[in-house]
Amino acid sequence: MELTSLAIHELSERLLRKEVSSVEVTKAFLGRIEEVDKNIHAYITVTAEAALKAAQRADGMLAGKEGVTPLTGIPVSVKDIFCTRGIRTTCASKILGDFIPPYDSTVVKKLKGSGAVLLGKTNMDEFAMGSSTENSAFFKTLNPWAPDRVPGGSSGGSAAATAASECAASVGTDTGGSIRQPAACCGVVGLKPTYGRVSRFGMVAFASSLDQAGPFTRDVTDAAIMLKAMAGRDPLDSTSVDMEVPDYRSFLSGGCKGLKVGIPKEYFIEGMDPDVEKAVREALNVLKGAGAELVPVSLPHTEYAVAVYYLVATAEASSNLARYDGVKYGLRVNEAGSLIDMYKKTRDSGFGGEVKRRIMLGTYSLSAGYYDAYYKKASQVRTLVRDDFSAAFRTCDVIATPTAPTAAFRFGEKIEDPLTMYLSDIFTISCNLAGIPGISVPCGFTKDGLPVGLQILGREFDEGTVLRAAYAYEQATGWHKRRPAI
């Protein structure tokens, strides 16, 4: 079996038994990237030299067995939204095309501290704004299952790299579904932790009250390993929560017998792809057969979630992206007659169309005379969405839904129709508004051979139960073992 086809826990066992070295594993993944990424375009930057040096250090750790973790010597990638010291960090935007941070984000620092090997930075929608990775300023990432289909977004590069075996795992960000939706499109596991579980320090901000980092992996066991390494209180992020980080693998053996799984009627709607609905309903029957109790729940404010999200997220984006003005770092257009002219020309040249659209929407909703009607009202309805989940979790342990209403769509199919594109995240957005954890696991394929994702949501900081339910489903099926033929 090729090293690049193995999961983290399988590679870790071989490294500990000295059957293979981290340098050998890293060379295998770098070879895989060289072989297939010309057809996938998952990476913006590959850091081969630095990866091999990190692998040598990992082999030294493994030899001495001091400080060894399940990630020691394991090659991973990160979305190009995380600051990496001495390595270009672009957010897939021209405005940050040559930006090299002087420090590592906390997530990257934690991964390095665990002994993981960083292979490079993956492609994304510009500033994480999109559902297809078509908004990257550099190139489109292709879906490993079908090159004419999108990999999802905004973390499409991370999802595609994981699915194509170009890394053992990757880290993305999820503001409105940007881990779970591409995970579903690419047939991998994608976990969004509770807001505050993972530090956002050094993660370039899109919408600060919604953004959260999480892993893409081959299976649920690997998701538990990655979350353990990434999570925890960070004094550099005031929104990170000071709570004990459990060993998430300890939750995986619980099975789902007696687990109450809520099924919200609002997530099975007209217009959903029949193949997607069929796969998800079959997945629910698998959970029931494994001993779970399916209970109906209602999330009545779901219909307002997309509108609320695109007011809150764009307002916060307008504020966060004001810092890109050509003064301190990033792109500067010097052919300008005045300071204001330089601001305008820099932002016009540096930002892509979707980013400009969201900045304008957010600026409008925050402007005098409109704040109360839009942003304030959206914040109030957001509280109602959160209350819906609190009420539902009084009658169930987790909630199961489709991850997305369709499988991966074709390139160009929605890019000219922003509203249709925004609706791709209709089943994932509410989770971010409420700040709760969610995971997408592979649960089948359409007639066209495209992956389908099952989404499992849980209570705040109860990632353990979410992982338990996901693992129980995974062990009862074999969907996660299927790989695209590349």
User: 134-188, pLDDT tens digit by residue?
Assistant: 999 999 999 999 999 999 999 999 999 999 999 999 999 999 999 999 999 999 9
Task: Give catalytic status of residue 21 as yes or no.
Answer: no
**442, two tokens:** 């592979």
φ, ψ for residue 171 (rounded to 5)?
A: -120, 130
φ, ψ for residue 477 (rounded to 5)?
A: -135, 180
- Contact (CB, 8 A) for 330 and 96: yes
Task: Give catalytic status of residue 154 as yes or no.
Answer: yes
**298, two tokens:** 């209602």
* In a domain? residue 189: yes
* In a domain? residue 121: yes
∠ CA 370-371-374, rounded to 5°: 80
* In a domain? residue 174: yes
- Contact (CB, 8 A) for 182 and 159: yes
* In a domain? residue 374: no
Question: Of 178, 365, 424, 430, which one is the catalytic site residue?
Answer: 178
* In a domain? residue 93: yes
* In a domain? residue 378: no
CA dihedral 113, 123, 101, 58 (to 10 degrees): 20
Q: Would you call 398 helix, strand, or coil by DSSP?
A: strand
Task: Give catalytic status of residue 18 as yes or no.
Answer: no
- Contact (CB, 8 A) for 215 and 184: no
Instruction: Please report where in the chains the tokens 């939204």 appear, as a residue.
Output: 81
Question: Of 21, 79, 105, 318, which one is the catalytic site residue?
Answer: 79
What's the CA gap between 441 and 458, in Å, rounded? Answer: 14
What would the pLDDT profile of 13-67 be if each residue is shown by its tens digit?
999 999 999 999 999 999 999 999 999 999 999 999 999 999 999 999 999 878 8
Question: Of 93, 131, 136, 154, which one is the catalytic site residue?
Answer: 154
What is the pLDDT, as a whole number, of residue 1? 58
CATH code of the domain containing 67: 3.90.1300.10
What is the pLDDT, as a whole number, of residue 393? 98
φ, ψ for residue 347 (rounded to 5)?
A: -70, -35
Q: Looking at the 3D structure of the chain, how many domains does it have?
A: 1
* In a domain? residue 179: yes
Mean pLDDT by groups of 10 residues along the chain of 486 residues? 93 96 98 97 98 97 90 98 98 96 98 98 97 96 97 97 98 98 98 98 98 98 98 97 96 93 93 94 97 97 95 96 92 90 94 96 92 93 98 98 96 84 89 98 97 98 98 96 92
**328, two tokens:** 């301190």
What is the pLDDT, as a whole number, of residue 421? 82
What's the CA gap between 96 and 422, in Å, rounded? Answer: 25
Give the rounded distance of the alpha carbon of 471 from its chain centre: 19
* In a domain? residue 235: yes
Does residue 158 have a cis bond before it (omega within 30 degrees)?
Answer: no
The number of CA neighbours under 13 Å toward the Cβ of 58 is: 32
The pTM (predicted TM-score) of the whole model is 0.96
The residue segments making up the domain with residue 16 are 3-255
What is the pLDDT, as a whole number, of residue 368? 85
- Contact (CB, 8 A) for 368 and 298: no
